[in-house]
Amino acid sequence: MVQTSALYLYALALGSNRALSAKHPPERMVREAATLIGQLGEVRAMAPVLITRPLGPSQRLFANSALLVASPLPPEAMLAGLKQIESRLGRQRHRRWGARRMDIDIILWSGGIWNSRTLTIPHLAFRSRSFVLRPLRAIAPTWRDPVSGLSVRQLDARLRKATAPPRPRG
């Protein structure tokens, strides 16, 4: 009898705004993280790297992307693997929203909702972050948020509409 292990699909957000070295600018850090994530599972899709403005006090622009990864790892094990990759790429946890070499977040997973002491899926803030929704829309536009029931495309459209500058009248 052949035993198969379940594969989970994860939507991950990646970001970097601090180079590791002159040869490792943020865009390359994101691509390198994607390669390392391939050791945790099969990278099925990667969004183009976007350059975005930072949240919070950091002044450096971010390189952001999103990945779809199929893996046999359950959420807590995936999180542990991603934290190891962040550390390997020079992540140091100092200041919230400060400059960082690598940030990898689990946004969604095929199991729906996950709540534990160390991990909440879907990511609590992803619905309000265009730097997460835009790359994710490029690779998983129809994936539905298990909380709102809206697709990534719909969430992105709502956010764009809410943050669009007012049109001049006349």
**Which residues are catalytic, by number?**
91, 100, 103, 105
Give dist(CA 154, CA 143) in Å, integer. 10
H/E stretch holding 86:
helix 75-88
**Peptide bond before residue 122 is cis, with ω within 30 degrees of 0:** yes
Element (DSSP H or E) covering residue 10: strand 8-16
Residue 130 has phi, psi (to 5 degrees) of: -65, -30
Cis status, amide bond into 26, omega within 30 of 0: no
User: What six digits make up the tokens of 94?
Assistant: 């100092």
Tell me which residue has tokens 């691509």.
31
The total of other beta-carbon atoms located within 10 Å of residue 128's CB is: 13
Q: What whole-number distance in Å separates Cα of residue 33 and Cα of residue 23?
A: 15
